[in-house]
């Protein structure tokens, strides 16, 4: 026999159907009870944003389902969605993300039906470390140092002028100083780096070192009657 079920009747699984047969003489059989088997996979779980700073993966899935998180290295973590469908799965402290990695999440219901896979990309929210800066002197024509590879390094001069360069794949950067910008020594340069995700490092401040020799001092006439030597030199310099 074949009996069509109404289109508006949906089963979740676990319901009971009672089946009997009655012959032409009106005699009715014993009742056969059958449980509806759940073969419907749950919907793919939702996943909240995962960042390079995250310590857990959270989201929603079918209540009571087992949620599995597969990390980029193949490590599998599991948790159970509560009666509201919320799940929280802690990430191991030894697993660090740089950003850009993919995490795969599925949920499996109590009947063993597995959802489609949800894939979330880890967002980089970790600022790069402050760049290193080589010594800058009053004779320097460039600012050099190291930063996070691919990051944009910004140098702010004492007058507010901003210069930028990009750290190469080894992390090295070189930024030319304008020829019309001269340092005497003692000025401060502020250097930061910003990674491709827009995360900005702490500021590195470096003092310009004075390595420019003073001009030769002038000397007034000295005679056989002189008791002093006088002239003009760089203010504050020691004349010998």
The model's pLDDT over 97-134, given as tens digits with 9 standing for 90+, comes to 999 999 999 999 988 999 999 999 999 999 999 999 99
Q: Do 146 and 203 have their domain in common?
A: yes
pTM: 0.70
Closest CA to 154 of 115, 122, 198: 198
Give domain status of residue 172, yes or no.
Answer: yes
Give domain status of residue 21, yes or no.
Answer: no
Structure tokens at 221: 């006439």
Residue 220 pLDDT > 80, yes or no? yes
Cβ(106)–Cβ(46) under 8 Å?
no
3-class DSSP state of 176: strand
Question: What range does the domain containing 170 cover?
Answer: 132-208
pLDDT tens per residue, range 135-173: 999 999 999 999 999 999 999 999 999 999 999 999 999
pLDDT tens per residue, range 41-86: 999 999 999 999 999 999 999 999 999 999 999 999 999 999 999 9
3-class DSSP state of 20: coil
Give domain status of residue 99, yes or no.
Answer: yes
Reported as a pLDDT band with limits 50, 70 and 90, residue 231 is confident
Residue 14 pLDDT > 90, yes or no? no
Q: Do 90 and 50 have their domain in common?
A: yes
H helical segments located in the chain: none
Query: Per the structure, how many domains does the chain have?
Result: 2
What is d(CA 175, CA 177) in angstroms, rounded to the nearest whole number? 7
| Alpha-carbon distances, residue 163 vs 175, 177, 229 (angstroms) | 7, 8, 47
Q: Do 80 and 118 have their domain in common?
A: yes
What is d(CA 164, CA 152) in angstroms, rounded to the nearest whole number? 7
Sequence-distant (6+) residues with CB within 8 A of 94 are none
């Amino acid at each position: 026999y074949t009996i069509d079920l109404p289109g508006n009747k949906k089963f979740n699984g676990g319901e009971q159907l009672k089946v009997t047969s009655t012959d032409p003489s009106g005699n009715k059989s014993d009742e056969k009870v059958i449980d509806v088997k759940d073969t419907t996979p749950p919907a793919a779980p939702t996943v909240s944003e995962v960042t390079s700073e995250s310590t857990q993966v959270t989201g929603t899935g079918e209540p009571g389902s087992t949620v599995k998180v597969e990390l980029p290295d193949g490590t599998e973590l599991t948790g159970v969605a509560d009666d509201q469908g919320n799940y929280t799965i802690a990430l191991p402290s030894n697993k660090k993300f740089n950003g850009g990695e993919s995490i795969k999440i599925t949920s499996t219901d109590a009947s063993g039906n597995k959802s489609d896979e949800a894939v979330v990309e880890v967002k980089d929210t970790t600022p790069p470390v402050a760049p290193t800066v080589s010594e800058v002197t009053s004779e320097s024509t460039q600012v050099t140092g190291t930063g996070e590879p691919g990051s944009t390094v910004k140098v702010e001069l004492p007058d507010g002028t901003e210069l930028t360069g990009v750290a190469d794949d080894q992390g090295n950067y070189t930024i030319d100083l304008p020829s019309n910008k001269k340092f005497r020594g003692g000025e401060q340069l502020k250097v930061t780096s910003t990674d491709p995700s827009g995360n900005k490092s702490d500021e590195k401040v470096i003092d310009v070192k004075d390595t420019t020799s003073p001009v030769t001092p002038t000397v007034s006439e000295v005679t056989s009657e002189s008791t002093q030597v006088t002239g003009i030199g760089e203010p504050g310099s020691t004349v010998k």
